[in-house]
Chains A and B, each alone.
Chain A
C-alpha cells in the first residue's frame, strides 16, 4: 500500500526548506480568567530527515511547544502569537477541522506513556487501522494488509497475532512499537516524539530509539524529539534547543552545544545530567571511611515466591537467591529493570513481607523472624522513601503533621520536644521553616522529596531504603537531592539501600552494587569493579544503554569527570 509520495532522504536541495519552522511562538494557559504565558517567543527549525531535540525540565514549556505544533493544546491553552510553518504553510491559525486533515498524515505523534496511550478496549489492529480509515486510505483488505505490514516493520513478532490482541496483552516496549507504527503509518513529514522512551526500561529505551532512528532514515521523516533527558538528546539529535521557563536558552548543533555551552543554564544541565557527567560521586570529601561497625544489612540467599492464582498454578519466583552485605555508613545499590525483583527485595528488607527462604539481618536483627510489636519497633531502625513524592504524602495533612506522624507512632514525646525535632530535621533537609504550615500540593517535586526524607529521618533510623527516590525528579533537582543524601550520610552515618533502574545515578551515589535480572543476581561488587569489569552480558548491555555516550565530548576538565574506562 503506497500511502504517500516516495520519501526523500535529506538532500542538499530540499534541506533548505525546513519541514517545520516555528517563529516567535507564544502560548498561554488560562487559570481563573487570567492568561499566563508559558511559552515566550520560541523559534526553531526542523529540516527534512533531521532530529531536533527540545530539551528542558518540567515546566520548561517543551511539551506545550510540541502540543502547539500539532494543535493539541489543553482546553485552557491558547496560541497567543507566532507562526508555525509546516512545509512553508502557516498552520497556526487553522481550525480544528482543517488540522484534522494533516494530523496523522503530515504530522504525527509518538506519545510518552505507552500504557495509557492505547485504548484498552480495542484491539491493536483496529487502532493501527484507524489512522488509515480517518484519512480514507485504501480498501478494507488493503488496510488490513497494511496494518500487518506496519506491525512487522516496527519489529513486532507474529504481527497477525498482535493485531488481534489487546493493549494489556503486550509489554510496554511492544506497545510503544505499536504507537510508532501508528505514527509512521502515513509517512508523515514530521513526527513529534514526546518523551517517547521515558517510561521504558533502559535497554528497551535503546531499541525504541534505534527504531525511530531507522524509520527516520528510511522514510526521510523529520523528528521533533521532546525530552528531559539530555543524554538521550545528545545521543540522537542533530540539533538541540534548550528551553527554560518557556524561553529558548540556546540552540545549535548538538556537538557544538555539548562542547561549548554558551548559557549558564545549559552548563548546569550538562553538569547535573548523571549520564553525561559520569561522575564517581556527587561530592566526596575523601575516600569512604573503612567500615568499622560491621554490616548494617546482610541479605543471605533471599528467595521470594508469589503464588499464582492462589497457588493453583504454582508460584512465581520474584527473587531467586540474592545475597549481599552493606557496610555501615555506605550505600549499596540494587539495580535492575522492571520485573527484576529489586522492589521485592526492598520490601523484604523493610519487613513488609516474609521471604520464602533466606535470611535478612538489619543492624544484627533477623527481620524474617520479627512479628507484631517487635516488627513495629524494628521500623525505627529502617525507613523507606518512595519513588513518587506526589503520591507518598497525604494531600490533606500539613507538612508539620506529615513529619510529626512517625513520632506519634512511637514513644510519646512532649509536644515541645516533637516540635524541636521537626524543626531540626527540616533544617537537615534544607527546607525553610515556612513550609510547615503548607500542604504537599503547594510544594515542588524536589521539596516534596525533601519532606519525605525528613519524615523518614525524624525517627533517627540507621538505614534508609530509597526506592527509586530520585527517578521522578528533574536532573537539576535530582542532583540536589543526591547531594543532600550524601551530606546526610556523612553527618548522620546512615546506611543506604538504593533501589534504582538508572545506572548513571547509581554510579554517582553507591559504593557497592548488585545487578538483578529476572530475580537473579547477575553481578555484584564495588561500583568500580562492576562498571569497569562487568561479569555478565546483561550488565554490559545495561552499561551500554546509558544514554549520552555517543556524543560525549572529551572536553570537560572539571575534576569529577572520569573516563568511562572502555
Chain B
C-alpha cells in the first residue's frame, strides 16, 4: 500500500513540474510583458534607458533558461516573486484571495452535492413515471444555464425583488449566499447526471434482484445496496469539479464582485502579470493533483475489491 502511495505522490510531483514548465514557456512566448504595459505609459515620461533599468531590476534581461532555473528554485523555497502591477509579493496576493475562494468552492460544492443526491434519489424512488422523467431532465437544464445570467437573475430576485440579501456591503455570510447558489446549480448538473446514470446501471445488477427477492423495498435497496456502488464512479467527476471550483470561478466572482482566485486570475491576465499567472497555474495544478490523489486513495476505502491485489490471481 505504501509503495502505491509513494508512487502516486511521485506522479503528482511530475505533473506539477510539467504544469509549471509548460506555463512558463507559454507565458514567456506571449507578446508584450507586464513591465512594458505598466511603465511604457506616456504619462510616466520614462526614457528607454530607464525602462531598461527597470527591466534589469526585475531580472527580465537575463537569458530565459537562467530565468527558468531561478524561478524554479524560488518556487521551491516558497518565493513566488513580485507582482509587477500590484508591487507586492505574489504569495501575499494568493493568501489574500484564498479564503474567499476556499469558502465559495467548498460551500458551492457541498450544496451541489446535496442538490445532485436529492434529484437522483427522487428520480429513483418517486412513484410516478412522469415525475421521474421530468426530474431526470432537470440536470440538462441546469448545465445549459449561463452562470452570468443565473447570477444576475438571482440578484434580481433575491436582492431587488424580495430584498432578502443586500447587494451593497452584505455581511460576511450573507455575501456568500447568492454566489454559492450560482455556483452550485451548474455544478450539480454533471454530478446528478452521472449519479442518475450510475443508479440506473446498478439497479439492473443481479445483486439488486437478489435483494428484492429477499423482500427488500425499493428504498431499502437504494440506500443499502445501490448508493455506495453508484457513488464510487461519481467520486472521480466530483474531484474534477471541485478542482475547477478551486481554480477560481471567474464569472461568478466578477458578477458578485468577490475577491477570490478567479478575480485575481482575471486581473493578472489583463495586466499580463506573468509572475502572478505562473503562481496561479501552479496553484491550480496543485489543487487538482491533491484532489485526485485524495480521490484515488479513497477508492480502496469504499471498494474492498481494490484493497488487495492478492485475490485477483487466485
Contact = CB atoms under 8 A, between A and B. Distances in A.
Given A96-B218, A105-B215, A117 B207 contact: yes
B304 A121 contact: yes
Interface string B197-235: 000000001110111111111101000110011001000
A103 B213 contact: yes
Interface string A133-157: 0110000000000000000000000
Contacts of B26: none
B229 A120 contact: yes
Interface centre among B205, B207, B232, B302 (most CB of A within 10 A): B207
Interface stretch (B70-78, B151-159, B305-313): B305-313
Contacts of A120: 207, 229, 303-305
Nearest to A103: B215
Contacts of B224: 130
Contact of A121 (B211, B215, B228, B311): B228
B303 to A, nearest CB: 6
A134 B214 contact: yes
Contacts of A105: 215
A223 B62 CA distance: 86
A113 interface: yes
Contacts of A72: 209, 212-213
Interface in B97-133: none
A70 B218 CA distance: 15
Interface size class of B (residues with CB under 8 A): 20 to 34
A116 interface: yes
Interface residues of A, number: 35
Interface in A70-87: 70, 72
B214 A130 contact: yes
B175 to A, nearest CB: 41
A172 B289 CA distance: 39
Given A130-B224, A168-B311, A169-B311, A117 B210 contact: yes
A119 B225 contact: yes
B234 to A, nearest CB: 14
Nearest to A130: B214
Contacts of B303: 120-121
A312 to B, nearest CB: 10
Interface string B45-63: 0000000000000000000
Interface string A193-204: 000000000000
Nearest to B226: A119
A241 B313 CA distance: 42
B209 A130 contact: no
B311 A108 contact: no
Nearest to A97: B217
Contacts of A119: 207, 211, 225, 229
Contact of A111 (B210, B215, B220, B309): B210
A112 B206 contact: yes
B211 to A, nearest CB: 7
B213 to A, nearest CB: 4
B215 A101 contact: yes
A131 B305 contact: no
B305 A70 contact: no
A269 interface: no
Query: Which of B209, B210, B228, B303 has the most chain A CB atoms closer than 10 A to its own CB?
Result: B210
Contacts of B209: 72, 109, 111, 117
Contacts of B207: 116-120
Contact of A316 (B212, B304, B313): B313
A135 B216 CA distance: 9
B305 A166 contact: yes
Give the one of B213, B215, B304 with max A CB within 10 A: B213
A117 B217 contact: no
Interface string A92-104: 0000110011111
Contacts of A308: 313
A39 interface: no
A417 interface: no
A400 to B, nearest CB: 33
Contacts of B215: 100-105, 131, 134-135
A119 B232 CA distance: 13
A416 interface: no
A103 B302 contact: no
A316 B312 CA distance: 12
Candidate in B216, B232, B311 with the most chain A CB atoms within 10 angstroms = B216
A109 B210 CA distance: 7
A487 B250 CA distance: 71
A105 B214 CA distance: 7
A308 B309 CA distance: 10
A179 interface: yes
A2 B206 CA distance: 29
A411 interface: no
B311 A118 contact: no
A189 interface: no
A135 B311 CA distance: 33
Contacts of B216: 100, 104, 130, 134
Given A96-B218, A100-B215, A102-B215, A111 B206 contact: yes
A166 B224 CA distance: 15
Contacts of A403: none
A182 interface: yes
Contacts of B228: 121
14 contacts: A100-B217, A103-B212, A109-B213, A111-B213, A116-B206, A121-B229, A121-B232, A121-B302, A122-B225, A130-B224, A134-B215, A134-B220, A166-B305, A169-B311
Interface of A: 70, 72, 96-97, 100-105, 107-109, 111-113, 116-122, 130-131, 134-135, 166, 168-169, 179, 182, 308-309, 316
Given A101-B215, A119-B225, 11 more contacts: A100-B215, A108-B214, A111-B210, A116-B206, A117-B206, A117-B207, A119-B207, A120-B305, A130-B224, A179-B210, A308-B313
**10 shortest interchain CB distances as A-B pairs:** A104-B215, A109-B213, A104-B214, A116-B206, A103-B215, A117-B206, A166-B304, A131-B214, A119-B207, A134-B215
